[in-house]
Amino acid sequence: MFATSVHEPADWAEFVTHALAGAAANIGGIEAILAGRPGSWEADGVRNLLTSTVGHDKENLLEHRREALVVEVDIDELLTDMGAWEPYDEASRELARRYDAIGIATVTGDPGDPLVEEGLRRLEPATEEQDRQADSIAELEERLEEQRLQDWASYGRALQAAVEAEAGRLAGLAVPVIVRVQQEASRAADERTCATWGLIDQLLTVAVQVTELPGGGRPPLSRLEVTGHASGAAQPPADSAGPSAPGRT
């Protein structure tokens, strides 16, 4: 007598529906995967199949995601939109005013111009006190930029932690969430994340709301000068204008 074995047919329908749900979750949603021809009869069929599989609640689709969620953050662009540059621009203008108040004589014009050359020969050299004050302001300018870079970096770390915390509260999201904080997001990164931007935007919106802006509301110069490492120049009456310290354009 020969033994016979009976193999049950594979449930390909279930396999296909779950594979399709996984693809939609990885792309960013049902409508994202149908964006090419959203009004076609094929799209309607796929849409009906997916909604019958996962329902209309977007959170139910998250549990089918198999790819890590990558969140690219351009910190400088984000902080610019939030007005974080404005206090630093004002600090640069204040240092320019302090430099002007020192009263170091200058001549402006095109190099090689006879009048400019004559003016340069007649310039009175800066006094030791004026040089000291100018050096003090130059030191503040350097430390101001160092402080800004530190602010941007600390905000990036805090925002990353907030995004990761919010992702951990999303029901059904079991894949890793990778947060990449950088000064300038690449175009390729934008193209990769545009399809999942709805979820990424959700995470970033909450993270921004709970993350304090750099400096805690204190003016950048006051934060520097309170340390005592450097101080701005005294402000004597300005009787001649010097060159302005560079600000952000």
Angle at 147 between CA 145 and CA 152, to 5 degrees: 95
pLDDT at 85 over 90: yes
- Is residue 248 within 8 Å of 86, Cβ to Cβ? no
Spell out the domain ranges in the chain. Answer: 12-66, 70-225
Q: What is the tens place of the pLDDT at every residue in 4-34?
A: 555 667 777 777 777 777 677 777 677 777 7
pLDDT at 220 over 80: yes
Phi–psi pair at 68, nearest 5 degrees:
-60, 145
d(CA 188, CA 185): 8
Q: What is the pLDDT of residue 188?
A: 40
Whether pTM exceeds 0.75: no
Mean pLDDT of 173-185: 78
Structural tokens at position 35: 């964006």
N-terminal to C-terminal alpha carbon distance within the chain: 91
d(CA 222, CA 20): 57
